[in-house]
Chains A and B, each alone.
Chain A
């Protein structure tokens, strides 16, 4: 059943000058799942993300995407394969308009991104698709606004729209609800659930409410290593997990 598994890591290790941030992590993400990566601060979650998208090079170990070894590839190549990530702090282009943000993602497929002699009016052909994407995340009425003026929750929604523009097979979301108020968390949670149809989502998330509600599988990291894996009901009862993590936040 190798096809069932979209992303697999084998014995992934990342050392920083003697400090082992990620230790022997073997992860299997199943196609179509929402897979949550949780763990206390400093457990190595974001480092795992950086390794998966090659923003960091692993010290040892392998990464396979759709059965192909992608360990030696560069970050932009990984993105073109269909693994698109978000960042812990909101990843938008602040001084471009909301519409332009989405268009940047769409224009790559036109293959004219090196054409410095061409008018940017050629990009207007993408506006229809861009507006559709904005509508999906409830931002169509903000299209002409300069992004820096958007409220925080909306910026995260824009980020998701931009990511969706690439039609990624696998979305990696790094703490999508971090720093959000109660209402925004609900909004983004529903959004993730909605966009996960026909694709796979791997997310780092601290908000247990979100994790419990929408994730199919949970991997718990502690001190750079996998502590437990399984559905929420199972993992949340695991004594080792309760001790390392749940006990402190769920009490």
Chain B
């Protein structure tokens, strides 16, 4: 238990000094996608629900944050909270409809509803269509800290990530999380023990959507614009890849997966151009065929084997 604490403290220290070595905007982008993947993992890894339209929460919150900060003049902290709540509300609507079905039908309903929202954003005047919502000011945090400075913003983003990660960790290790795992393991049995599984699934969906929204809103602040790409189903697919690659149902898997994918995309984009998609596809195939538990899952299993705890 203590070793875990030391591990977390070490990672946090590493993140605190990271911008001295790595370009802070890249790390911020990784943190945004890591948070997005963690939120997604709460559903697929701990509740057993595959949402195939999760990008819509990322995208919606991005627009809401952008619009509220740029047009309505919200301060950044308020814009983020407002955007996360908007994503949670959308999650409630989409979730209420989708949880009536399970398995592939659930995935298809989330995809269909997400596509409807995507076309709304494509047409709606306030989103700027394919140009995106540009020139969103970063503003001043609580009216004091100037976020236009990348380093200031970095520590703000890191704080958001740590808070959200803690919240997800707590949710997984809470009485509610226990029921979620029970639903994932054996839904019929959970019902027969008297749990209204639909309500638990819906709360998990809303939490996941809200946190995915927080990731999207933060991303808007980092890049100063909200884009249609974030709401596109490609992004929904990408988050599945990140989560599977890192390790579905592990606490750190999505973080590792997101960091790997984003870094690769970043490194490869100038060198191989559109071949990136092919490389991502190949990684996905190798991951599914060779190490199904993902990077963190396989490492965890290896550690268990080496320490001999069966």
Contact = CB atoms under 8 A, between A and B. Distances in A.
A116 B186 contact: no
A55 B188 contact: yes
Contact of B175 (A92, A105, A118): A118
Q: In the complex, which of the residues B188, B194, B195 has the most CB atoms of chain A within 10 Å of its own CB atom? A: B194
B236 to A, nearest CB: 24
B123 interface: no
Interface in B179-213: 179, 181-182, 185-186, 188-197, 199-200, 203, 207
A95 B178 CA distance: 11
A117 B173 CA distance: 9
A236 B235 CA distance: 65
Interface residues of A, number: 37
Contact of A116 (B176, B182, B194): B176
Given A79-B193, A85-B192, A116 B185 contact: no
B113 to A, nearest CB: 24
Contact of A119 (B170, B181, B186, B193): B170
Nearest to A149: B310
A118 B170 CA distance: 7
B247 interface: no
B192 A107 contact: no
Contacts of A95: 181, 185
A86 B207 CA distance: 32
A104 interface: yes
Contact of B178 (A76, A86, A92, A120): A120
Contacts of B203: 114, 116
B175 A110 contact: yes
Contacts of B191: 55, 75-76, 79
A237 to B, nearest CB: 36
Contacts of B174: 115-120
Contact of B171 (A85, A105, A110, A116): A116
A112 interface: yes
B177 interface: yes
A123 to B, nearest CB: 6
B62 to A, nearest CB: 25
Given A116-B203, A120-B175, A92 B189 contact: yes
Q: In the complex, which of the residues A86, A96, A123 has the most CB atoms of chain B within 10 Å of its own CB atom? A: A96
Contacts of B188: 55, 87, 91
Contact of A74 (B170, B179, B196): B196
A207 to B, nearest CB: 23
A222 interface: no
Contacts of B177: 116, 120
A166 interface: yes
Interface of B: 167, 170-171, 173-179, 181-182, 185-186, 188-197, 199-200, 203, 207
30 contacts: A55-B191, A75-B191, A76-B191, A79-B192, A79-B193, A84-B194, A87-B188, A91-B192, A92-B186, A92-B189, A94-B185, A96-B178, A103-B178, A104-B190, A104-B193, A107-B179, A108-B193, A112-B175, A113-B175, A113-B195, A113-B200, A115-B175, A116-B176, A117-B170, A119-B174, A120-B173, A120-B174, A120-B175, A120-B178, A162-B193
